[in-house]
A and B are shown apart, each in its own frame.
Chain A
Amino acid sequence: MEFKLDNSIYKLAQLRRITFELGLLISKIEQNRITNDQYQEDQANFGLELNQLIELNNLDRNNISDLQKLKDFLEQIGNHPAVIHFSFNQEADPFTLQKLVSYARENIYPNVLITVGLDPSIVIGCRIRTTNKYFDFSLKSRLKQKRKLLLDKINALQGLSNE
């Protein structure tokens, strides 16, 4: 069974919290089964994100087996998380983060998680850190790469002004 991770769930802590909540839900259902009480759906007791996740994967809330599989899926991600750390020069709003997460999961890795940091020296762009690598997508790095072009342009302008 293939599960999908909701784009609103992008932090490892978030994932672990949801995993814990899911575990609570499963144990609640099992308890009710043992005591032969009807499990009363009480969505208010669990987070929005968990509910969204269950709905996204079209799972039956009362089906323990599906829920357990979902939990295993979440635990597997949590035990070996694929994390990309993004550094921006300002606080990223949730909307932007969701877009970023959506792109990363579509193009890079399906269940990637992200962490966000602040780096005021980045004007435009970002810096990315994966497990073993570091990528500089900032304007500074781009300017460094195109430095020779800029110098050539300046020298050309200087030559014109001297004439």
Chain B
Amino acid sequence: MTIWWLGLIITVLAVATIGFLWLALKLNAILKNQNSITQDKLSSSLDKAAEKDVEHVFNNEFREELRNRGRLYFEKIIGDNAMFLQQDLRLTTSQLNDFLKDQITKTLKDEFSKYEQSISDAKQLAVESIQKTLASLENQRTELANQIKEEVFRDKDKLVSRFEQHMTEILNHYILEAIGDQVDLSDQLEYIFADLEANKEAIIEDIKNGI
């Protein structure tokens, strides 16, 4: 029962509040309309009065003066702006120049450094290649020298062994060429007789067998 009464009371209060608010808003709107109508009337009357007095204050000379002042001011502003523009332009140009210079210098430096690096790499490669070539040439030279040495020794041994094998013929030929025509047969008789004496028995036996 109590809750019902409480709810009812609250409902009534709410409705009353809403009604009151609606009423206030309505009244406010009506008042505004009335004020605006009043202000419009006031401003229009003031405008009319101002128009009448303008001709009196702003005459042709005053206007001309104003125009001149405006022109001067405008020119001054234009000149100032032009000066500022020129300064700004110069500054910008110099900044641009510096920037370009820096950029170009930087780019060139980079390129030159790359070029230098590539040259040094190529030089290093060339040096390594030359060193390898030299090393291989040295190896080949050593091998060739050893081979030649072996060949020479082999040929020498061959020559020596051939000489030893044919030494008798060589000496015989040499003596024949050297003194072959100078040795008389009569000078050799002693040598021949000595050999005959040494082999006498065999010769005699063979002769007797032959007869």
A contact residues vs B (CB 8 Å cutoff): 80, 82, 84, 88-90, 92-93, 95-96, 99-100, 103-104, 107-109, 112, 120-121, 123-126, 128, 130-133, 135, 137, 139-140, 143-144, 147, 150-151
Contacts and interface: CB of A to CB of B under 8 A. Distances in A.
A46 to B, nearest CB: 29
Contact of A88 (B175, B185, B204): B185
A94 to B, nearest CB: 11
A82 B172 CA distance: 31
A92 B197 CA distance: 20
Interface in B164-211: 164, 167-169, 171-172, 175-176, 179-181, 183, 185-186, 188-189, 191-193, 195-197, 199-200, 202-204, 206-211
Contact of B189 (A82, A89, A100, A140): A100
Nearest to A81: B211
Given A80-B211, A123-B180, A137 B206 contact: no
Contacts of A82: 207, 210-211
Most buried by A among B185, B193, B197, B206: B185
Contact of A84 (B185, B203, B208): B203
Most buried by B among A88, A103, A139: A139
B186 A95 contact: yes
Contact of A143 (B171, B189, B210): B171
Contacts of B169: 140
A131 B206 contact: yes
A122 B168 CA distance: 12
A89 B192 CA distance: 13
Contacts of A80: 211
B203 A108 contact: yes
A89 B202 CA distance: 24
A151 B197 CA distance: 28
6 contacts: A123-B175, A123-B176, A124-B175, A128-B203, A130-B210, A137-B196
Nearest to B165: A147
A109 B196 contact: no
A84 B200 CA distance: 12
Most buried by B among A112, A126, A151: A126
A143 B170 CA distance: 11
Given A108-B203, A132-B209, A150-B167, A137 B189 contact: no
B196 A130 contact: no
A125 B195 contact: yes
B172 A125 contact: no
A131 B203 contact: no
Contacts of B164: 151
Given A100-B189, A112-B207, A151-B164, A124 B196 contact: no
Question: Which 10 A-B pairs have CB atoms at the shortest separation, nearest pair first?
Answer: A131-B210, A137-B195, A130-B206, A140-B172, A123-B176, A143-B168, A133-B206, A82-B207, A144-B168, A123-B175
Contacts of B209: 131-132
A89 B113 CA distance: 93
A109 B207 contact: yes
A84 B164 CA distance: 34
